[in-house]
Chains A and B, each alone.
Chain A
Amino acid sequence: GDSVTQTEGLVTLTKGLPVMLNCTYQTTYSPFLFWYVQHLNEAPKLLLKSSTDNKRTEHQGFYATLHKSSSSFHLQKSSVQLSDSALYFCALRSNYNVLYFGSGTKLTVEP
């Protein structure tokens, strides 16, 4: 069945360092991948999305590239800020109207 795997549950970094949050997926359909960010006590918000193979997509300093050959959609940022501390979810839409979320990665950025 369709699934999303996020291998890091917790990531702690010092401000200014780069980050990569891993996301891999499994599906037999044509994939559409998303990254959602959820700050403490808030609703999740869309950060990035892509269905185009090998094309980098960027928003608010974060970027990701969908690689269908490796079934991956890793999230990266070159320099994290304190305000980036949040829960990050990778999600897969394969079947129309059903979105599968990964287990989430909690990113904590320290001064």
Chain B
Amino acid sequence: AQTIHQWPVAEIKAVGSPLSLGCTIKGKSSPNLYWYWQATGGTLQQLFYSITVGQVESVVQLNLSASRPKDDQFILSTEKLLLSHSGFYLCAWSLSAETLYFGSGTRLTVL
């Protein structure tokens, strides 16, 4: 069975500090991987996607970056957090760009 694990579960960070969020998918070879951001009670905004190791496509510019160092790992990061980065970050995988399977998310609070 496929599993998707996101870490950390929650983070409280200061404005201007760096951030690294991670996501690991087990049980699937070469999945498409995605990062989404959700403001509290808000819609889901796609940030990045990756269809292969080492290649990441940006969908929106939010002063964030993403990398896929391994087939089963997707990393979201920034060197300087903004207040507007607060929210819920969701990693997801799919095989055919149809059904997305989401992780349990990371809740980020920037103070």
Residues of A within 8 A of B (CB): 32, 36, 42-46, 49, 87, 89, 91, 93, 96-104, 106
Contacts and interface: CB of A to CB of B under 8 A. Distances in A.
Contact of B105 (A43, A46, A101): A43
Contact of A98 (B43, B44, B46): B46
A87 B102 CA distance: 15
Q: Which 10 A-B pairs have the closest CB atoms?
A: A43-B102, A101-B44, A103-B43, A97-B49, A97-B97, A101-B43, A46-B99, A44-B102, A104-B43, A43-B104
24 contacts: A32-B98, A36-B100, A42-B104, A43-B90, A43-B103, A43-B105, A44-B90, A44-B102, A87-B41, A89-B43, A89-B44, A93-B98, A97-B32, A97-B51, A97-B57, A98-B59, A99-B97, A99-B100, A100-B46, A101-B44, A101-B46, A103-B42, A103-B43, A104-B43
A103 B45 CA distance: 10
Interface string B31-63: 010100000011111100101000001010000
Please classify the interface of chain A as helix (H, G, I), strand (E, B), loop, or mixed, using the class held by over half of its residues: strand
In this complex, the member of A99, A102, A106 whose beta carbon has the largest number of chain B beta carbons within 10 angstroms is: A99
Contacts of A98: 46, 49, 59
A49 B99 contact: yes
A100 B57 CA distance: 15
B46 A99 contact: yes
A92 B100 CA distance: 12
A93 B98 CA distance: 8
A99 B103 CA distance: 16
Nearest to A44: B102
Contacts of A43: 90, 102-105
In this complex, the member of B32, B57, B99 whose beta carbon has the largest number of chain A beta carbons within 10 angstroms is: B99
Contacts of A36: 100
Contact of B44 (A44, A45, A96, A97): A44
Given A43-B103, A97-B57, A104-B41, 6 more contacts: A43-B105, A44-B90, A46-B99, A46-B100, A89-B44, A98-B46
